[in-house]
């Protein structure tokens, strides 16, 4: 049976060192993670993050400073590879804006991992502060789901077959996911060709190609408090541009869509982003 001591927590920081320190504190106090099992990677923040996180590492967590910001996937890979090379079996990839409401949270995720040796990633249900359940992405989206059927997919993607307090899903929730480091090493970790966005669906495809699966634990949940780090760093049109660049890369390299299909999907994605913002 897997234990909490086999888990490293990987937290990526960019400019928001106060949120990161708060997340470290919650990991320790609310879900029982020893400080020495927490790995914090700073993605070349252009503020005082490096100094503050380095200073507070006296708590016992491992601090790694990246001299370049090559994006979300690249930054997390630094922490994941460090965890793997230092003998951890699992890593909990965690945003620094996650709120816990279950002290047994990590134990429940590990129980799911132990039920199926093909599972590479497990995440909890993810809620907004207002109680909105984010899409579980249970089904692998097709062209219809990415275009005229995108709003129908909201319902289709939420429905999972609950087996025993968990269900299989297409892709994990990147804000909070427990990964099997050996399996992640086999797929060469996260694809760092993207700067931001669509890391989870790309990871899902890499895992599927190796016969691995992702799951959602329905017995526990977290609240994604959605910090403003990205929105404070980029204008809306730039965010949409970054999203569509990553989306196009995923559709071309992993779904092998034609240029026409990619343009259709990106057009609908642009409209969705404009409506949401």
Q: What is the pLDDT of residue 80?
A: 98
What integer is the mean pLDDT of 103-121?
A: 97
Contact between residue 182 and residue 71 where contact means Cβ atoms under 8 Å apart: no
Q: What is the pLDDT of residue 226?
A: 73
Q: Using CA atoms, how far apart are residues 107 and 219, in angstroms rounded to an integer?
A: 11
CA distances from 185 to 8, 37, 61, 78, 79 (A): 15, 19, 23, 12, 13
Q: Is residue 42 in a domain?
A: yes
Q: What is the pLDDT of residue 151?
A: 87
Q: Sorting pLDDT into bands at 50, 70 and 90, what band is 235?
A: confident
Token pair in block for residue 133? 């359940």
Q: Sorting pLDDT into bands at 50, 70 and 90, what band is 234?
A: low
Q: What is the pLDDT of residue 254?
A: 98
What integer is the mean pLDDT of 160-173?
A: 94
Name the nearest CA neighbour of 167 among 202, 213, 216.
216
Q: What is the pLDDT of residue 174?
A: 94
DSSP-assigned letter for residue 133: B
Helix ranges restricted to H, the chain: 17-30, 49-56, 72-85, 105-113, 143-146, 152-156, 181-186, 199-209, 229-233, 236-253, 259-276
Instruction: Supply the range of the domain harboring residue 131.
Output: 4-226
Q: Is residue 269 in a domain?
A: no
What is the SS3 assignment for 189?
coil
What integer is the mean pLDDT of 54-81?
A: 97
Q: Is residue 245 in a domain?
A: no
Q: What is the pLDDT of residue 238?
A: 85
Q: How many CB atoms lie within 10 A of CB 221?
A: 20
> Residue 177 above 80 pLDDT?
yes
Q: Sorting pLDDT into bands at 50, 70 and 90, what band is 43?
A: very high
Token pair in block for residue 43? 């993605």
The per-residue pLDDT of the chain, averaged, comes to 94
CATH code, 76: 3.90.550.10
> Residue 4 above 60 pLDDT?
yes
Q: What is the pLDDT of residue 68?
A: 96
Q: What is the pLDDT of residue 276?
A: 64
Q: Is residue 89 in a domain?
A: yes
Q: Using CA atoms, how far apart are residues 277 and 275, in angstroms rounded to an integer?
A: 5
Q: Is residue 160 in a domain?
A: yes
Q: Is residue 185 in a domain?
A: yes
> Residue 126 above 70 pLDDT?
yes
| pLDDT tens profile 133-162 | 999 999 999 999 999 999 899 888 888 998
Q: Using CA atoms, how far apart are residues 91 and 264, in angstroms rounded to an integer?
A: 36
- Per the structure, the count of domains in the chain is 1
Q: What is the pLDDT of residue 53?
A: 98
What is the SS3 assignment for 169?
strand
Q: Mean pLDDT check: name the lowest of 49-58, 229-238, 258-267.
A: 229-238
Contact between residue 30 and residue 100 where contact means Cβ atoms under 8 Å apart: yes
> Residue 229 above 70 pLDDT?
no
């Amino acid at each position: 049976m897997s234990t909490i001591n086999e888990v490293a927590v990987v937290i990526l920081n960019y400019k928001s060192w106060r949120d990161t320190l708060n997340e470290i504190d919650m990991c320790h106090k609310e879900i029982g993670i020893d400080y020495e099992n927490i790995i914090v990677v700073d993605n070349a923040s252009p503020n005082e993050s490096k100094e503050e996180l380095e200073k507070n590492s006296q708590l016992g967590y491992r601090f790694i400073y990246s001299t370049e910001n090559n994006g979300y996937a690249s930054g997390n890979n630094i922490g994941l590879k460090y965890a793997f090379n230092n003998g951890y079996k699992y890593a909990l990839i965690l945003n620094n804006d996650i709120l816990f409401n279950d002290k047994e949270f990590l134990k429940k995720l590990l129980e799911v991992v132990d039920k199926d040796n093909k599972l590479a990633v497990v995440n909890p249900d993810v809620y907004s502060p207002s109680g909105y359940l984010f899409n579980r992405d249970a089904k692998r989206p097709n062209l219809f789901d990415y275009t005229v059927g995108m709003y129908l997919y909201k319902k289709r993607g939420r429905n999972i077959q609950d087996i025993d307090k968990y269900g299989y899903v297409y892709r994990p929730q990147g804000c909070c996911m427990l990964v099997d480091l050996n399996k992640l090493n086999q797929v060469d970790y996260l694809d760092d060709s993207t700067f931001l966005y669509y890391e989870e669906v790309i990871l899902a495809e890499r895992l599927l190609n190796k016969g691995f699966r992702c799951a959602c634990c329905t017995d526990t949940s977290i609240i994604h408090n959605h910090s403003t780090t990205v929105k404070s760093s980029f204008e809306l049109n730039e965010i949409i541009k970054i999203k569509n660049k990553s989306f196009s890369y995923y559709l071309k390299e992993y779904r092998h869509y034609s240029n026409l299909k990619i343009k259709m999907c990106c057009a609908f994605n642009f409209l969705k982003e404009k409506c949401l913002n």
